[in-house]
Amino acid sequence: MIELFTMFGKKIIWVVFTILAFALIYRLDSNYPINNYSERSTFPIEEVFRNGNSKLDGKIKIVTVTQEGNTSVHLTKGSTPAEALLSLGYHLGNNIRIVSTSPSNILYNDTYILLQTYNTKLVEREMIIPFGTITKGSSLCPRVSQTVVEQEGEAGRMIQTVEQFYLGDKFISEEIISQSVERSPIQRVIAISNANDSPQSVTQLGPRCDYWEGIVNSLDATEEEKQWLRFTMRWESGCNAENNKSFYKGLFQWDPCLWYKIYPNDNIFDGRAQISKTLQKIRQCADPAKMWPGVYKKYVQTYGELSSRYTCGYL
């Protein structure tokens, strides 16, 4: 009889415990409502607290939220981090960044969520506009040229309004909202003098052997000198006084640095000047085998050595 009473008492206690458990579950569910909740879910309440890595879609989940240094633990039925945050009353806007241990499209149990707030501020700053340099002319040999400053440069001034973006106290980026030029820069102007001649500075004749050979034939020179001049200018430039295809220039393809060092006031593209100065140079014992080595080798093969090389002691 005592044994029967004991068994009956245990059953009563078990029924009471079961009723209390269901009442607790119902109360928890009513405190955290959500539209996606499914009454047919078979996940027991124990899994909410024990299985932190399982997908508990439609069931209560634990989330830990940190915002502005404050951390709170919540129970939610949200199916995504954003949905959970909205159901818990957190404000989400364009300036809020959600960092979560769950992906954006599903919420796992025991998820950690960090809310980061973007801050912006407008900054007005002065910018220096650097001045540029305008160069008049060009140099055929910079080491013998001279530059003259015709106008000094002066930097300009601009005011910019910039919107700066911060994540907390950390600078992220900035965007120029507006800008206005308060003072335009003044360009620096320099002019190049000496060794600054161009092919366009002379009459454009092009390759004209008949013309330049006529000039050579009219010189007060020996027939050997005239022969060498005609041969050299034909092979060096094709009788083109404006020849500017390489470092060497003009009718006899002079080195511009040597030319302007010796003849600073003479245009290297002036054919008459080149004929006159080349003849003068040969008469002053310049060695044609060194100044025009390739063409002079052809000349020797055709006519033999120039007599000036014997008289000047080269042979």
* Topology (CATH level 3) of domain 31-116: Ubiquitin-like (UB roll) (3.10.20)
Grouping H, G, I as helix, E, B as strand and the rest as coil, residue 287 is coil
Say yes or no to pLDDT of 6 above 80.
Answer: no
C-alpha triplet 170, 175, 179: angle, nearest 5°: 135
User: Is 231 exposed, middle or buried, given 0-12, 13-18 or 19+ CB atoms closer than 10 A?
Assistant: middle
The answer to whether the predicted template modeling score (pTM) of the entire model surpasses 0.85 is no
Q: What is the pLDDT of residues 199-211, one digit of tens each?
A: 999 999 999 999 9
Are the CB atoms for 92 and 98 separated by under 8 Å? Answer: yes
In the prediction, which pLDDT does 54 show? 42
C-alpha–C-alpha distance, residues 142 and 247, integer Å: 13
Q: 156-167 and 170-183: which strand pairing? A: antiparallel
User: Is 58 exposed, middle or buried, given 0-12, 13-18 or 19+ CB atoms closer than 10 A?
Assistant: middle
In the prediction, which pLDDT does 2 show? 44
Mean pLDDT over the full length of the chain: 84
In the prediction, which pLDDT does 31 show? 41
Reference 263, options 272, 295, 232; nearest CA is 272
Are the CB atoms for 237 and 253 separated by under 8 Å? Answer: yes
Band (167; pLDDT cuts 50, 70, 90): confident
| H-state helical runs in the chain | 2-31, 45-50, 81-87, 209-217, 223-237, 256-262, 271-283, 288-291, 293-303, 307-311
Q: What is the pLDDT of residues 99-122, one digit of tens each?
A: 999 998 999 999 999 998 888 889
Say yes or no to pLDDT of 89 above 80.
Answer: yes
**CATH number at 119-193:** 2.20.230.10
In the prediction, which pLDDT does 246 show? 92
In the prediction, which pLDDT does 119 show? 86
Q: What is the pLDDT of residues 181-239, one digit of tens each?
A: 999 999 999 998 888 899 999 999 999 999 999 999 999 999 999 999 999 999 999 99
Band (33; pLDDT cuts 50, 70, 90): very low
Band (39; pLDDT cuts 50, 70, 90): very low
Q: 133-136 and 188-193: which strand pairing? A: parallel
HSE-CB of 153 using CA atoms within 13 angstroms = 14
